[in-house]
Chain A
Amino acid sequence: DSGVTQTPKHLITATGQRVTLRCSPRSGDLSVYWYQQSLDQGLQFLIQYYNGEERAKGNILERFSAQQFPDLHSELNLSSLELGDSALYFCASSGGGNEQFFGPGTRLTVL
């Protein structure tokens, strides 16, 4: 158990809908990272937050947004969902070291 929690574990929704994925980092970790894992794109970095502020952006679509709250949990919002958004979404946290601790992921299926 990495100490990072993600909810929900599974999410099935329809095209055009909006969903919110939630992540709670390890206690004390200020950095939260979001990654997407799909069969065709592999593991892709989406976005990083550090202590509530956006630190870095990767291959994140404009339809996706994220935020980190004062209690350090983070949410990833995916809107106008398309079939191609079906993937595993991982959250990771770190406490200043280089190692990242990954949550179990949310499997999103868009029908």
Chain B
Amino acid sequence: SQQGEEDPQALSIQEGENATMNCSYKTSINNLQWYRQNSGRGLVHLILIRSNEREKHSGRLRVTLDTSKKSSSLLITASRAADTASYFCATDALGGATNKLIFGTGTLLAVQP
């Protein structure tokens, strides 16, 4: 399977703490994206990092990318109960005329109030 893997599979933290999720992928990529999914709902795009970037910030989100290790991490700082959701990394493979996304297995984040 081309699917990437994320760890941990599940993470439970207290409000105000930071949450870190990791993603590993298998192929060379154009970019890597992170999406959030609230229970059983559609995915919401959070942030995109290109293959030539190493770190990117958006609000309380910080993403890093290490293409030599084919890995990425998503840090959510000062977490809130509303951050409770599943988080997926998705890679856009290098080459080809398509932007199909290969998703990781996801991390289920629970933020306790």
Contacts of B100 in A (CB 8 A): 33, 45, 48, 56, 58
Q: In which size bucket is the chain B interface?
A: 20 to 34
Q: How many residues of A contact B (CB 8 A)?
A: 26
Interface residues of B (CB under 8 A from A): 3, 30-31, 33, 35, 40-45, 48, 88, 90, 92, 96-106
The docked-state distance in angstroms from the alpha carbon of A101 to that of B46 is 11
Interface residues of A (CB under 8 A from B): 2, 4, 31, 33, 35, 42-45, 48, 55-56, 58, 88, 90, 92, 94, 98-105, 107
The docked-state distance in angstroms from the alpha carbon of A88 to that of B86 is 15
Q: Other than A44-B3, A104-B41, give 6 A-B pairs with Cβ distance below 8 A.
A: A43-B90, A44-B103, A45-B103, A48-B100, A55-B97, A104-B42
Given that A42-B105, A43-B88 are known contacts, is A102 also in contact with B99, CB under 8 Å in the complex?
Answer: no
Contacts of B97 in A (CB 8 A): 55-56
